[in-house]
Protein backbone atom coordinates (compact mmCIF):
# COMPACT_ATOMS: atom_id res chain seq x y z
CA UNK A 1 0.00 0.00 0.00
CA UNK A 2 2.93 2.31 0.65
CA UNK A 3 3.93 1.94 -2.99
CA UNK A 4 0.52 3.15 -4.18
CA UNK A 5 0.69 6.11 -1.78
CA UNK A 6 4.11 7.15 -3.05
CA UNK A 7 3.15 6.79 -6.69
CA UNK A 8 -0.08 8.75 -6.17
CA UNK A 9 1.81 11.49 -4.29
CA UNK A 10 4.39 11.84 -7.07
CA UNK A 11 1.62 11.71 -9.67
CA UNK A 12 -0.47 14.38 -7.94
CA UNK A 13 2.47 16.75 -7.46
CA UNK A 14 3.67 16.31 -11.05
CA UNK A 15 0.17 16.85 -12.42
CA UNK A 16 -0.25 19.96 -10.26
CA UNK A 17 2.96 21.42 -11.66
CA UNK A 18 2.01 20.55 -15.24
CA UNK A 19 -1.54 21.88 -14.85
CA UNK A 20 -0.11 25.14 -13.50
CA UNK A 21 2.29 25.29 -16.44
CA UNK A 22 -0.64 24.73 -18.80
CA UNK A 23 -3.38 26.95 -17.43
CA UNK A 24 -1.46 29.90 -15.95
CA UNK A 25 -0.01 31.13 -19.28
CA UNK A 26 -3.45 30.84 -20.87
CA UNK A 27 -5.02 32.86 -18.08
CA UNK A 28 -2.18 35.41 -18.23
CA UNK A 29 -2.69 35.89 -21.96
CA UNK A 30 -6.35 36.89 -21.57
CA UNK A 31 -5.91 40.39 -20.10
CA UNK A 32 -2.65 41.00 -21.98
CA UNK A 33 -4.22 40.01 -25.32
CA UNK A 34 -0.88 38.51 -26.23
CA UNK A 35 -1.46 35.41 -28.37
CA UNK A 36 2.23 34.45 -28.26
CA UNK A 37 1.92 33.37 -24.62
CA UNK A 38 -0.57 30.65 -25.56
CA UNK A 39 2.24 28.57 -27.10
CA UNK A 40 3.50 27.91 -23.56
CA UNK A 41 0.08 26.54 -22.65
CA UNK A 42 0.17 24.28 -25.67
CA UNK A 43 3.59 22.95 -24.68
CA UNK A 44 2.38 22.40 -21.11
CA UNK A 45 -0.77 20.68 -22.37
CA UNK A 46 1.30 18.28 -24.46
CA UNK A 47 3.44 17.23 -21.49
CA UNK A 48 0.41 17.09 -19.19
CA UNK A 49 -1.42 14.82 -21.62
CA UNK A 50 1.60 12.54 -22.01
CA UNK A 51 2.03 12.35 -18.23
CA UNK A 52 -1.63 11.58 -17.61
CA UNK A 53 -1.85 8.89 -20.30
CA UNK A 54 1.31 7.18 -19.02
CA UNK A 55 -0.01 7.49 -15.47
CA UNK A 56 -3.32 5.97 -16.53
CA UNK A 57 -1.60 3.05 -18.23
CA UNK A 58 0.63 2.38 -15.21
CA UNK A 59 -2.20 2.72 -12.67
CA UNK A 60 -4.50 0.48 -14.69
CA UNK A 61 -1.86 -2.17 -15.28
CA UNK A 62 -0.25 -2.21 -11.84
CA UNK A 63 -3.13 -1.44 -9.48
CA UNK A 64 -6.22 -2.33 -11.58
CA UNK A 65 -7.96 0.98 -10.86
CA UNK A 66 -11.17 0.96 -12.95
CA UNK A 67 -11.40 4.76 -13.29
CA UNK A 68 -8.05 4.75 -15.10
CA UNK A 69 -9.40 2.33 -17.69
CA UNK A 70 -12.37 4.60 -18.29
CA UNK A 71 -10.05 7.55 -18.68
CA UNK A 72 -7.93 5.71 -21.23
CA UNK A 73 -11.11 4.75 -23.12
CA UNK A 74 -12.16 8.41 -23.13
CA UNK A 75 -8.73 9.39 -24.51
CA UNK A 76 -9.05 6.87 -27.34
CA UNK A 77 -12.60 8.07 -28.07
CA UNK A 78 -11.46 11.71 -28.06
CA UNK A 79 -8.64 11.07 -30.52
CA UNK A 80 -11.00 9.06 -32.74
CA UNK A 81 -13.48 11.96 -32.82
CA UNK A 82 -10.64 14.40 -33.45
CA UNK A 83 -9.38 12.27 -36.36
CA UNK A 84 -12.88 12.08 -37.87
CA UNK A 85 -13.32 15.84 -37.52
CA UNK A 86 -9.95 16.37 -39.19
CA UNK A 87 -10.90 14.07 -42.09
CA UNK A 88 -13.95 16.12 -42.94
CA UNK A 89 -12.01 19.41 -42.98
CA UNK A 90 -13.79 22.69 -43.57
CA UNK A 91 -17.25 22.95 -45.02
CA UNK A 92 -17.56 24.89 -48.29
CA UNK A 93 -18.84 28.37 -47.62
CA UNK A 94 -18.62 28.00 -43.82
CA UNK A 95 -14.93 27.80 -42.87
CA UNK A 96 -15.48 30.06 -39.86
CA UNK A 97 -18.01 27.69 -38.30
CA UNK A 98 -15.83 24.61 -38.77
CA UNK A 99 -12.78 26.50 -37.54
CA UNK A 100 -14.53 27.59 -34.34
CA UNK A 101 -15.81 24.05 -33.78
CA UNK A 102 -12.38 22.53 -34.32
CA UNK A 103 -10.75 24.97 -31.89
CA UNK A 104 -13.41 24.17 -29.31
CA UNK A 105 -12.95 20.44 -29.90
CA UNK A 106 -9.19 20.81 -29.56
CA UNK A 107 -9.28 22.82 -26.31
CA UNK A 108 -12.34 22.11 -24.16
CA UNK A 109 -12.44 18.27 -23.93
CA UNK A 110 -8.72 17.88 -23.13
CA UNK A 111 -8.94 20.60 -20.47
CA UNK A 112 -11.97 18.94 -18.86
CA UNK A 113 -10.35 15.51 -19.04
CA UNK A 114 -7.09 16.81 -17.55
CA UNK A 115 -8.87 18.48 -14.64
CA UNK A 116 -11.03 15.41 -14.04
CA UNK A 117 -7.98 13.12 -14.01
CA UNK A 118 -6.12 15.44 -11.63
CA UNK A 119 -9.08 15.56 -9.23
CA UNK A 120 -9.47 11.77 -9.45
CA UNK A 121 -5.77 11.29 -8.63
CA UNK A 122 -5.98 13.69 -5.67
CA UNK A 123 -9.05 11.83 -4.35
CA UNK A 124 -7.30 8.48 -4.74
CA UNK A 125 -4.30 9.89 -2.86
CA UNK A 126 -6.55 11.13 -0.06
CA UNK A 127 -8.22 7.73 0.26
CA UNK A 128 -4.88 5.90 0.19
CA UNK A 129 -3.39 8.18 2.86
CA UNK A 130 -6.34 7.82 5.25
CA UNK A 131 -6.88 4.08 5.17
CA UNK A 132 -6.79 2.32 8.54
CA UNK A 133 -3.41 0.77 9.23
CA UNK A 134 -4.15 -1.23 12.37
CA UNK A 135 -6.96 -2.30 14.66
CA UNK A 136 -6.61 0.90 16.70
CA UNK A 137 -7.11 3.10 13.63
CA UNK A 138 -10.59 1.66 13.11
CA UNK A 139 -12.08 3.63 16.02
Measured CA to CA, the distance from residue 43 to residue 64 in angstroms comes to 30
Measured CA to CA, the distance from residue 123 to residue 47 in angstroms comes to 22
Measured CA to CA, the distance from residue 106 to residue 36 in angstroms comes to 18
pLDDT given at position 136: 65
* pLDDT tens-digit map of 79-110: 998 888 777 765 555 556 566 777 788 889 99
Phi/psi of residue 53, nearest 5 degrees: -65, -45
Measured CA to CA, the distance from residue 79 to residue 5 in angstroms comes to 31
* pTM (two decimals): 0.83
127 versus 104: the higher-pLDDT residue is 127
Average pLDDT of the chain is: 85
The pLDDT of residue 139 is above 70: no
Residue 89 gets the label, from left (phi > 0), alpha (psi -120 to 50) or beta, of left
Question: Looking at residue 132, what DSSP letter applies?
Answer: -
* pLDDT tens-digit map of 52-82: 999 999 999 999 989 999 999 999 999 998 8
What are the residue ranges spanned by the domains of the chain? 2-130
Phi/psi of residue 132, nearest 5 degrees: -60, 140
Provide the 10 A C-beta neighbour count for residue 15: 21
Amino acid sequence: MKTLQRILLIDTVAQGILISATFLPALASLPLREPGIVIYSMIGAFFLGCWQVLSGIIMKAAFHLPQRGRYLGAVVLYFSILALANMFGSAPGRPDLVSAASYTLAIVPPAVMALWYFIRTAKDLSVAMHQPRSFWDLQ
